Amino acid sequence: MKIKMLFSVLALSALMFTSCNDGKKEQEEKEKERMEQMEAEREAEMKAEKEKMEMESNSIAAKAMATDTLSTLVSALQAAELAEMLKTEEGPFTVFAPNNAAFGKVDKAALDNLMKEENQDQLAGVLKYHVVEGEVTSQQLVKMIQDNDGEYAISTVGGGELKATIEGENVILTDEAGNKATVVQADVDASNGVVHIIDAVVMKKA
């Protein structure tokens, strides 16, 4: 009887030991899975942050900031609080970027007035008239013009249209006021679109 009881106690102890071991093993596996998941999430966050930094360092805004002839445009974008949009938003966008010489053609008093804080919305409207949703390379734009009997209407982010035509070897933009701008440098590639530098500031119809 005593031997039978001893076997029963030993069997129960073994069962309890096995059960404890199984519980401990299950807990360890859960902890391992949790740690692996946390590590995977951390790596994904680091990858996303790296990709974001790479995108921003090659963005339209970054390209403009690195181009000496676009310094006035950069100042205008910052004053209108649009620089962040062209830096962080994926777009893609096509920007017809007036160079410093283009801004030099604008009446200085009118430009200074636009750059004032109280006229931020008006300035933003002018600048958005130079921005188009989607990426349009010079080759694509030339084809669009040719496929549309020599004139292609471009809808801008700021509302209104620009008319694109070809004169000789140049792509010409005509704004709603009838003013013309020539693309002097095409296809400045950026992570969130493309920039075409123009020699005049285009304006919507007043």
pLDDT single digits (tens) 123-175: 999 999 999 999 999 999 999 999 999 999 999 998 889 999 999 999 999 99
Give residue 53's pLDDT.
Answer: 63
- Per-residue pLDDT tens for 69-96? 999 999 999 999 888 888 888 889 999 9
The structural domains of the chain, with segments of one domain joined by +, span 58-198
- Report yes or no on whether pTM surpasses 0.85: no
CATH no., domain 58-198: 2.30.180.10
Confidence band of 37 (pLDDT split at 50, 70, 90): confident
For strand 161-167 and strand 93-98, is the pairing parallel, antiparallel, or unpaired?
A: unpaired
In contact, 97 and 73? CB cutoff 8 Å: yes
- Could you tell me if 76 and 102 are in contact, meaning their C-beta atoms sit under 8 angstroms apart? no
Q: Give the mean model confidence (pLDDT) for residues 6-22.
A: 55
* Average pLDDT across the chain, whole number: 85
Q: Report the candidate in 157, 153, 152 with the shortest Cα–Cα distance to residue 142.
A: 152
Average pLDDT over residues 34-60: 70
Mean pLDDT of 49-72: 80
Using the predicted structure, report yes or no on whether residue 44 has a pLDDT greater than 90. no
Element (H, E) at 170: strand 170-174
Least confident of 1-10, 82-91, 96-105: 1-10
pLDDT mean over 36-50? 70
Q: Which residues pair with 132 in a beta bridge?
A: 94
CA–CA distance, 26 with 186 (Å, rounded to integer): 62
